[in-house]
Structure formats: structure tokens, C-alpha cells
Amino acid sequence: MLRSLLGQTAEARAAAFLQARGLKLLARNWRCRFGEIDLIMRDGATLVFIEVRLRSRNDFGGAAASVTPAKQRKLLAAARQYLATLKTLPPCRFDVVALSGDDAPDWIRNAFDDMG
């Protein structure tokens, strides 16, 4: 319960941070059979799939390093599923917002790619 509350708080914090920078929120916690995408936003004409990571400590590389290749594959599969619901395919990217304590969010644009 505490973990999900912390996750929801982190996602709300990340969404507010990105909205303050001009991104438009399209979906939160979008789920499909391949997994979940924390935030789906639009940055101009670009559709942005965002993974929010919260870590209380920076051991083992911190929050950003926790987006492993296996997690990336799940996010890619979920994003493909989301894109299949659209009539036209916009440019896309994958961002990570890494949160650690009360520090400013670390927004990593184009954290990984490979829509092909």
C-alpha cells in the first residue's frame, strides 16, 4: 500500500514537473497485456512515453539505472500496443523521470529508443 502511494505521488510529481515545461498529459498508468506506461504525454507533435522511477537512495546507479533492458522491452511492447489504437503515427520518444527524495526531478529525454 505504501509503495503504491509513493508511486502515485512520484507520478503526480513527475506529471506536474513536465506540465510546467509545456508537455500535455494524455494518459496516466495506461495498461495493456504487456505492462503499464506511467505517463503518456505530448511534447509539441511528439508523443512521449514516460517511465517514472523513484529511489530513496542512489545505490546501484539510482533511479535512472533501474530502467533495465528488460523493462525497456516491456515499455516498447506496451507503447506499440498504444500506437496501434491511433489512426496516424506521430513521432515518439521514451523519457525517464528519475526522482530521488526531495531533489529536483532528473528528466532524461530520449532515455532509450528502438521503435523498429
| CB neighbours of residue 33 within 10 Å | 7
Give the helix ranges, DSSP H, for 1-116.
2-19, 62-65, 69-83
Residue with cell 500500500: 1
Using one digit for the tens of pLDDT, what is the confidence trace for 13-72?
999 999 999 999 999 999 999 999 999 999 999 999 999 988 765 555 555 667 888 999
In the three-class reduction of DSSP (H, G, I as helix; E, B as strand; rest coil), residue 60 is classed as helix
pLDDT grade, residue 1 (50/70/90)?
A: low
For residues 116 and 75, the model is more confident at 75
Overall number of domains in the chain: 1
State the pLDDT at residue 55.
72
What phi and psi, each to the nearest 5 degrees, are found at residue 40? Answer: -120, 120
pTM exceeds 0.75: yes
The domain in which residue 94 lies consists of 2-112
What is the predicted pLDDT for the residue at 29?
95
Give the integer Cα–Cα distance in Å for 18 and 105.
Answer: 10
Q: Which CATH number does the domain housing residue 85 bear? A: 3.40.1350.10
- Residue 116: what pLDDT? 45
Strand partners, 25: 41
Least confident of 59-63, 81-85, 86-90, 102-106: 59-63
Please compute the mean of the pLDDT values over residues 63-87 and round it to a whole number. Answer: 89
